[in-house]
Amino acid sequence: MLATFLTASATSAAIFTLYNSKTTKIPARSASSHGWLGPYDGNIIGGAMLGLGISLTGACPGTVLVQATAGIGASRLLACTSLLAGVVWVRCKPYMVKPPTSRAQNTSVMDVTGLSTGKVLVGYEITMLAILAGILYIAPRSVTMLHPVVGGLLIGFGQLSSVILTEKPVGVSGAYEEFGKFFWDLVGGKGIKSIPQNILFACGLMMGSWATLSNFPAIREVMAQSEQASLLMVLAGGAFLTFGARIAGGCTSGHGISGMATMGLSSFITIISMFGAGVVAGLWFA
């Protein structure tokens, strides 16, 4: 999974750099500051919650939907828990998050280092390739139908499609909050004028998963071999995934694959916090 993640982010970085040189800029993600500790408090705390949620469930907000489509183990319960957490988040958000006193800055690595976009891109690609090579050489490969690097390249192709068709990078976790808003609008009797874009993207993700599983049923068998989380882990993990992603302003796709690829400082902080908490949680539960 990590090899796929690194490949997708490296591919996305090249796509964004090329796209931004030709047309409208895709900006780096702004800091998630909620008035708790500092300018990046949401990124640090939300990232840590994401890491804990991933350790508990073995899924991120995006793969939750893929696994639910496959119907593996308690995956559909996890999806329902994550969606319910989105409903709760919409109600809790006004009490948990303070409005920023000033406009959040879209600080990038280029802003911090003073280096050009080209130099930062080259450094990023070399770093990603070096880490990827180390992982492929040292770590044993898990049972998969597709090589993780090929999977990362396909995600990169999906990123390219999103940029060309919608002028936006990929990201999934916003769908959970939009589902919560959708729910409360229906409860409140408000008319639904249109389906939010993030929900449409999530539906497309599930449709792609269904189409793949229908044509390659062996994939479901491979997915079923993964270790299943307990009921308590599923319930707690779903809440951590949704709340963590919304506090951080993005998840592994929004901050990791897309955000880091735009060289957003907030995204690097989020992912570092996510991996750090994930490693600690993994060692603890082991």
> Please, is 79 exposed, middle or buried when counting C-beta atoms within 10 Å of its C-beta (0-12, 13-18, 19+)?
buried
3-state secondary structure of 264: strand
Closest CA to 124 of 284, 221, 40, 116: 116
What is the per-residue pLDDT across 65-83, written as a single tens digit (0 to 9) for each?
999 998 888 899 999 999 9
DSSP string covering 241-274, please?
HHHHHHHHT--IIIIIIIIGGGTBHHHHHHHHHH
CA 112 to chain centre: 24
What is the per-residue pLDDT across 241-251, written as a single tens digit (0 to 9) for each?
999 999 999 99
Residues of the chain with pLDDT under 70: 23, 99-106, 141-144, 227
Q: Residue 103: its pLDDT value, please?
A: 58
Cβ atoms of 205 and 61 within 8 Å: the answer is no
CA 119 to chain centre: 26
Cβ atoms of 68 and 206 within 8 Å: the answer is yes
Q: Residue 102: its pLDDT value, please?
A: 56
